[in-house]
Structure 1
């Protein structure tokens, strides 16, 4: 059953990949500190650490609504993988897997993010209809992570709360 559940997650997932001009250790360390998330995620406004493996995220949703999620770290392998998910009823969690590996050149990191949303394709379609297409958001978030780590600031504002990242 566990193996078939993982296969279903893969079929229902969206993913994106980017190469960042920073070492794997630096990139992993920055990403693993979830309090950094508001600095590059388009709709995450605040993250508060509430336990060793849990944090509370404030998301700005459609029409300016603020939504709070509890997020739990489910797996971590230093400089390789961070897996986390929203705390929700079984089958209703959004799950992220972020993989880190050396890039094609010395000092580079390839970051691959896989996001699984509730209700698979139907859930992704629903999010797209309210202006939050998961595949585009994942890629945009990685682009902002790259900007922040390479340039020290974010200007890329595609799929982000209006005005969050000044040009």
Structure 2
């Protein structure tokens, strides 16, 4: 069963700067607490390593399915990945120099219903996304990640 969460935040920077910061996937560990690394593996593919439950790393491959500069980035995990996830981030320019970003994530926790229950005990995806977006805002606006 897939879960979905959507969160938005306003970043005090022009849309081109906000988009460029998000599109640089290898910098995600600077503002996403549970992401350990992101490595570009192809023109549209990346390898992700995240901190998983009980100290076990979780790794998966993702492909960018839409890349519309200053508007939208969408992705999904590849068919052979152990993690099933997809999502998109949209960029809405507001009165300069502000940009609203909205992130929608869909994911299927590994391990079926038991895995989903365990994942919910260990972390709240909505709360995690909200914190990651606050760190992203800080990263873009000041170049310094907020305290975890």
- List aligned pairs for 1:1-167, cutoff 5 A: 12-88=3-79, 93-103=84-94, 105-118=95-108, 125-129=117-121, 131-157=122-148
Q: How many residues align?
A: 143
Distance 1:65 1:75, change over 3 A: same
Give SS of 1:63's match: helix
| Higher-RCO chain (CA-CA 8 Å, sequence separation at least 6) | 2
CA apart distance, 1:124: 5.9
Q: For residues 34-73 of structure 1, what are the alpha-carbon distances to aligned partners after superposition, in whole Å with 9 as ceiling and x for unaligned? A: 1111111111111111100001111111222122111111
Give SS of 2:9's match: strand
Gaps of 5+ in 2: none
RMSD: 2.2
Structure 2 length-normalised TM: 0.86
Distance 1:116 1:49, change over 3 A: same
Write 1 or 2 for the structure with the bigger share of strand.
Answer: 2
Check whether the contact 2:135–2:145 (CA below 8 A) recurs between aligned residues.
yes
Structure 1 length-normalised TM: 0.77
4+ aligned runs moved over 3 Å, structure 1: 122-126
